[in-house]
Structure 1
C-alpha cells in the first residue's frame, strides 16, 4: 500500500485531512445533486463520482498536493478543499466544495485560507488561482472574500469556459496582515 503521508492541517474549527474511503458517500451524494454539483463538473453517477474520488487521491501521489477532506473537530465531514492541477489546466488552483448543510458557516473560507497558507508557506507557490464556472455566484463571492480578483476567462479542457480569479500573492497577504 502506498503511504501518501498527506499532511493534516488544523484551524480554529476544522481539520483538513487526507481523503479516506469512508468519505466517498459524501462525495457521491454531492455529485448526485445536480443543483449543488454543476459548478464542480457534476452531476455524476456513482461510478463517475468514484472515479473522481480516486483521482483526487491519485493527485496527491502525482503532485504532493490535492484536496483535503474538511471536517469539524468533532469529526463531522463538511466538504473538501485543496489545490488541484490536472493535466491540461494552465496552473494549479485553489478549490472548494461544501456538503449539504455545511454552507454559510464560514467553513469553506477557513479551510481555503489554510490550504492557501500551506501552498505558499510549505509548497513554495507564489500565486494561486481559482477557476469558477460563470454563474457560480457563491464561489465568486467566496473567492472575493479571500481577496481574489477576476483576471480572465479561459477554456478549460474538461469544462468549457471558466473564470480565473487570482489570489493575493504571499507578499500581498503579508502587506494586509492576512
Structure 2
C-alpha cells in the first residue's frame, strides 16, 4: 500500500510509485552514506525518517513529490525521481537520486524522462528545472543528457549555492 495519492507510472524497466514503508530502509541507508551528498546532507536514521514523512506530506500538499523508483526485474527500490517544491525553492524541480547498486544503468535517465512526461502531460507544467550543487558533475551530466541547460544560480536554504538547469519545454520534446 502506498502512503500517498501518487499515481503509478511505468517504463520498460521501472515502476515509479508513491512511497511505501518498505522503501524506508534503503532510503535510510542512502542518507547515511556519502552518496547522498548533492541530494541533501548525510542523516541519521531518525532524520531520514523525518525526510521520508516530509515527502509523503509534500505529495498531499502539492499533489506531486518524489516517486520511489522500483526496478521491475528485482522488485527492489532503486532510488527516487519526482517533482519537488518545498518552501524556499524558487520553482518546482525535477529531482532524482539513485541507490548505489543501481547507478550506471541508465535508471535515473529513464525515470526522469517518465517523470518529466507526467509533469508536463498530467500536471500541466510548462517548464521544469533541476537544481544541482556546483560540484555534482554526475547530476549535471544527467541534466545535460535530458536536454537541460544551465540558467542561473540561487542560494538553496538547505544546501547553499544551487545551479538551475532548465529542461526543454513540452513542445520542444515532441
Cα distance change, pair 170–46 in 1 and its aligned pair in 2 (3 A):
same
Q: Determine if contact 2:3/2:56 at 8 Å carries over to the other structure.
A: no
Number of equivalenced pairs: 172
Unmatched segments (≥5 aa) in structure 2? none
Residues in 2 aligned to 1:4 and 1:28: alpha-carbon distance in whole angstroms: 19
Secondary structure, counterpart of 1:40 in structure 2: coil
Counterparts of residues 60-79 of structure 1 (less than 5 Å): 60-74=59-73, 75-79=75-79
Question: In the TM superposition, what whole-angstrom CA distance separates every residue of 1:40-60 from its partner, at most 9, and x where no partner exists?
Answer: 112111111110111011100
Residue 164 of structure 1 aligns to a residue whose secondary structure is strand
Mapping 1:97-116, distance limit 5 Å: 97-116=97-116
Partner of 2:18: 18
| Other-structure match for 1:45 | 44
Distance in 2, Cα, partners of 1:125 & 1:49: 29
Instruction: Please state how far the C-alpha of 1:38 moved relative to its aligned partner.
Output: 1.2
Query: SS where residue 162 of structure 2 aligns?
Result: strand
Question: Partners in 1 of 2:99 and 2:164 — Cα distance?
Answer: 23
Unaligned runs of 5+ in 1: none
**Segments of 4+ in structure 1 off by > 3 A?**
none
Q: With structure 1 as the length reference, what TM-score do the two structures score?
A: 0.94
Paired residues of 2:4 and 2:19 also in contact (CA < 8 A): no
Say what the alpha-carbon RMSD is for the aligned residues.
1.2
TM-score where L is the length of structure 2: 0.96
CA-CA distance at 1:94 after TM superposition = 0.3
Q: By how many angstroms is 1:76 displaced?
A: 1.7
Deviation of the 1:3 alpha carbon? 7.0
